Structure 1
């Protein structure tokens, strides 16, 4: 109680700091450590830990299973109107993903499709998503969002349908940044429904001719399915 009274006494700065912590966890991804949050926000370590403990207590954040980091909690999901994603990929899935990232030069990301939204499970730390918030707001602009729309029977245009027929994947080639593009391969459940995606982001020419990338990532997408669905 004393902690809460002390926090309330410093309003509105404490509220802004707490919101900044939530935004940092959302941006940096599930499993981010308190030290990383402290460094990212320029907050004192003691202040960061105090805010994290309060946010965990109120279920805005959760600790990851190994207690080394934090992820968005159920109350954030309720506010956003979405189902909370698992806090962390299981070890076997992380090993598959690490191998895929070693073999493919570019960003490799894992997402689930939950309640009509793209929910990021694991974004490549070396090649982060360009704008995760915009991906949620404007899914049709990105390969991951196009695959989500296709899974819901809302194929944005004929080019997307053609990509799905030809490659079994969706693409975006230089439409946002002229030199880069992105690709999304489906992750399917045991009924064959697309419930997520393995995404790639990298040089535009590798997305325009995606044969190499798809060949490298398709086995990973299949192997990930029973581990993340």
Structure 2
């Protein structure tokens, strides 16, 4: 059974980490469907412990040094990479295509594992590469698993849809329709939007609360696409995400 106060506190931190700039308490309360009194109480507690900073001139809140220290500790331990490296390598071997593992950071995905299959073309999704989430199969898989309020918070600004290519969503409504299709299908795809002539299939890795902490994807030449290949790759990616999720939750 969850602890409501803990869940609400984590929701606030996740929300703040997804924002490009400090936000007001009313926006936090509205986006997370929290009572205003609860929102202010939790923010004040997080301020006391250094995880949140208040900007009086803007009447806004942002992440504090404590959150940065947690992020630095996470980067040092690299738990997700440690848990996922072998399953992702196995996926590449079984599929004969390159596989990758990425995490969501704001509106972008960052690739943290890249397993290249022998004889396959080099991809732009190398370790450390950062791409717009809504244009990649991995990003779409994670966005589709997020609460709708968080997607709205990430993409409520029209500038979020500028300069991403002719096939990318052009508004929050078109992005929402794309994500509805992803949820209905159970997996996401992109066809030539990241690398010309290459397609990808991806699924999210979910933690114990159902939150998408990462995504696994396989990339293959579009010319080789057949219904049987797609069915095989979907099954393999699903098995890999399930393995990583079980490792993550213990």
Q: What is the TM-score of this pair, normalised by structure 1?
A: 0.52
Q: Kindly state the Cα deviation for residue 199 of structure 1 after the two structures are TM-superposed.
A: 1.0
Report matched runs for 1:3-18 at 5 Å: none
Contact 1:135 1:142 in 2 (8 A): no
Change (3 A) 1:163 1:207: farther
Given the alignment of the two structures, is residue 190 of structure 1 paired with residue 208 of structure 2, yes or no? yes
1:96 Cα deviation after fit: 2.3
Matches within 5 A, 1:89-108: 89-90=81-82, 93-108=84-99
Query: Gaps (5+ residues) in structure 2?
Result: 1-66, 152-171
Residues 1:144 and 2:164 are matched in the alignment: no
Cα pair distance change 1:183/1:93, threshold 3 Å: same
Corresponding residue for residue 54 of structure 1: none
| 1:214 lines up with 2:234 in the alignment | yes
Query: The residue matched to 1:192 in structure 2 has which SS?
Result: coil
In the alignment, what sits opposite 2:191?
173
Cα distance change on mapping 1:141 and 1:117 into 2, 3 Å: closer
Q: 1:105 to 1:150 in 2, by over 3 A?
A: same
> How much has 1:123 moved relative to structure 2?
1.2
Is the 1:160–1:171 contact (alpha carbons within 8 Å) kept by the matching residues of 2?
Answer: no
Tell me the equivalent position of 2:109. Answer: 118
TM-score, scaled to structure 2: 0.48
Distance 2:193 2:203 in 1: 19
Against the structure 1 CA distance between its residues 176 and 198, is the aligned structure 2 distance closer, same or farther, given a 3 Å change threshold?
closer
Distance of 2:224 and 2:205 partners within structure 1: 21
What residue is the counterpart of 1:66 in the other structure?
A: none
- Deviation, structure 1 residue 195: 1.6
Cα RMSD (Å): 3.6
Check the 8 A contact 2:141/2:182 in 1, yes or no.
Answer: no
Give the aligned length.
150
1:123-138, aligned counterparts within 5 Å? Answer: 123-126=114-117, 129-131=123-125, 136-138=130-132
Question: Which segments of structure 1 move beyond 6 Å, counting only runs of 4 or more?
Answer: none
Question: Distance between the aligned counterparts of 1:97 and 1:134, measured in 2?
Answer: 16
| 8 Å contact kept, 1:171–1:183 | yes
**Secondary structure in 2 matching 1:100:** helix
